[in-house]
Amino acid sequence: MDSPLITMIMHASWAARLVLIILLVFSIITWTIIVTRMQFIKSAAAGNRRFKSKFESIDKLEELTGFDKKSLATPLGRLGLIGQGECRRIVADVRRMGGRDPSFMLQSQFSMAEERVESAYMGIVATLDRGVFMLAMVSSISPFLGLLGTVWGIMNAFFEISNQGSASLPVVAPGIAEALIATLAGLAVAIPALFFYNYFNHRAERIETDIDEFKTLLLARIKREVFLNLYEGRGSA
């Protein structure tokens, strides 16, 4: 037996069908983003926790090379590798100076390291919001598309009343049904998009806070290890 909803859609006007097709495309895009973002956010949060617990147990940034690839592929892991590279660079640059006092160049070296880490941080944070903007657009546009279909259906109902000279239920029912279907479709697309837009923003902010805290810790760790390397080098010399 045919569904009444499908029957009403099949008998809807071309304008209502066009609105429903657009909303269907929006719905497919929305749920694709929701599924992929959900997997990414969960993976990033779990990976960050795993990496942070390992990071707290190491004594030197050089030990990051011993971490597994999965841990280093996390947001914190990628930032940690940048910090490790900057630490190596500063130590190497200072040692090229030979026996000269390196204190005058350390400030500029640390500033460059901070800029490099900050740039990497911004790039990592940008990936957390990928696709979320589309959810905001869908949640804003879909209700208006549904409203467009609603107005069109009501217009059709009034047209049939004037055309047949009657306001009986069989005359107005198709137009009213068309209007209600468009309203329902618009809300069905907009509500999940709006809900998950706010959800992903909240989760992304929490992850961003974790990365920002780690960035501060990493910069302090870089300075500490640079000084330790320099003093060890002088002591051995």
The range of the structural domain enclosing residue 88 comes to 4-41+74-236
Total tally of structural domains belonging to the chain: 1
What is the predicted pLDDT for the residue at 107? 79
Structural domain contains residue 150: yes
What is the predicted pLDDT for the residue at 21? 86
Structural domain contains residue 197: yes
Helices assigned H by DSSP within 129-168:
132-164
Structural domain contains residue 198: yes
Structural domain contains residue 87: yes
State how far the Cα of 146 lies from the Cα of 142, in Å rounded to an integer.
6
What is the predicted pLDDT for the residue at 100? 60
What is the predicted pLDDT for the residue at 173? 60
What is the predicted pLDDT for the residue at 9? 60
Structural domain contains residue 46: no
State how far the Cα of 43 lies from the Cα of 207, in Å rounded to an integer.
11
Structural domain contains residue 219: yes
What is the predicted pLDDT for the residue at 236? 47
State how far the Cα of 237 lies from the Cα of 230, in Å rounded to an integer.
10
Structural domain contains residue 85: yes
Residue-wise DSSP of 29-58: HHHHHHHHHHHHHHHHHHHHHHHHHHHTT-
- Residue-level length of the chain: 237
pLDDT in tens, the chain (237 residues): 456 556 566 666 667 778 888 999 999 999 999 999 999 999 999 999 999 999 988 888 888 888 889 989 999 999 999 999 999 888 888 777 665 656 667 778 888 899 999 999 999 998 888 888 999 999 999 999 888 887 777 776 767 666 666 555 565 666 677 777 888 889 999 999 999 999 999 999 999 999 999 999 999 999 888 888 776 655 444
Structural domain contains residue 12: yes
> Residues 43, 76: contact at Cβ < 8 Å?
no
Cα–chain-centroid distance for residue 99?
49
